[in-house]
């Protein structure tokens, strides 16, 4: 039936993987899905970071609590994403909150470890010097420890962001999966051009966000460039 229509592009008829016409015809859908994907990724990582920093600060002061936090976040990461989202559904419903909470929990595995590692890596001599010139515990934390731990923390944010870009696609089971929504529909219909386009955009999005975070890290830690 399709082949009888003269104005149907040949790549649609052949169901090609690479179809330039698809990118033109479905541009609004691709843009909307990409924007949703970015939003879910950024909000999820930020939510995870807001939880990871306090947990990391508490874990650094209490070794027993550190083992509990690291072990707990590791266990959460072993739960399959489909199962985790399903467990959240009775509490959050078929909303974007389900995806955000689930992805934030997954990001804790990386973020908490890097917060602890970054803070633990601050030399004792530096902290003693800061106390010697009158820094309070709060001043020491915010003006010495966190700035010096920032490169390690940012490395964790980069890893968490890239992995979250991939995991967002699973949110399509609750209709909040960004580009994953297009992938789910395309796989069911065997629409190769849409599968290819959504996959390429996912990879491109991961690369772009990682480069943005590298730039942010360079802006926040200018002393590392001078040291280099």
Cβ contact 33:198 at 8 Å: yes
Residue (of 158, 166, 172) closest to 209 by Cα position: 158
pLDDT in tens, 31-54: 999 999 999 999 999 999 999 999
Which CATH fold topology does 65-222 show? MetI-like fold (1.10.3720)
Res 4 pLDDT > 80: no
Question: Which of 2-11, 35-44, 68-77, 112-121 is predicted with the least confidence, judged by mean pLDDT?
Answer: 2-11
Q: Give percent of the chain above pLDDT 70.
A: 95
Tell me the two tokens of residue 69.
């936090």
161: Cβ contacts below 8 Å, ≥ 6 apart: 41, 45, 206, 209, 210, 213
Res 156 pLDDT > 60: yes
pTM of the model: 0.87
């Amino acid at each position: 039936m399709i082949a009888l229509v003269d104005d149907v592009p040949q790549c649609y008829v052949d169901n090609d993987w690479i179809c330039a016409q698809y990118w033109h015809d479905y541009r609004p859908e691709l843009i909307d899905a990409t924007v949703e994907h970015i939003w879910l990724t950024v909000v999820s990582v930020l939510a995870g970071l807001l939880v990871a920093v306090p947990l990391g600060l508490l874990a650094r002061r209490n070794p027993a609590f550190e083992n509990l936090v690291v072990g707990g976040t590791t266990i959460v990461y072993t739960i399959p994403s489909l199962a985790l989202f399903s467990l959240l559904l009775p509490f959050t419903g078929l909303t974007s909150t389900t995806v955000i909470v689930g992805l934030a929990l997954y990001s804790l595995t990386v973020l908490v470890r890097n917060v602890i590692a970054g803070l633990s890596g601050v030399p004792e001599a530096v902290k003693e010097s800061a106390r010697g010139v009158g820094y309070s515990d709060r001043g020491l934390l915010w003006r010495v420890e966190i700035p010096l731990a920032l490169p390690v923390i940012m490395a964790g944010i980069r890893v968490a962001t890239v992995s979250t870009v991939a995991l967002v696609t699973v949110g399509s089971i609750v209709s909040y999966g960004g580009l994953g929504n297009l992938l789910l529909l395309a796989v069911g219909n065997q629409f190769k051009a849409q599968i290819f386009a959504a996959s390429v955009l996912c990879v491109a999005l991961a690369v772009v966000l990682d480069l943005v975070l590298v730039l942010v890290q360079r802006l926040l830690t200018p002393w590392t460039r001078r040291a280099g």
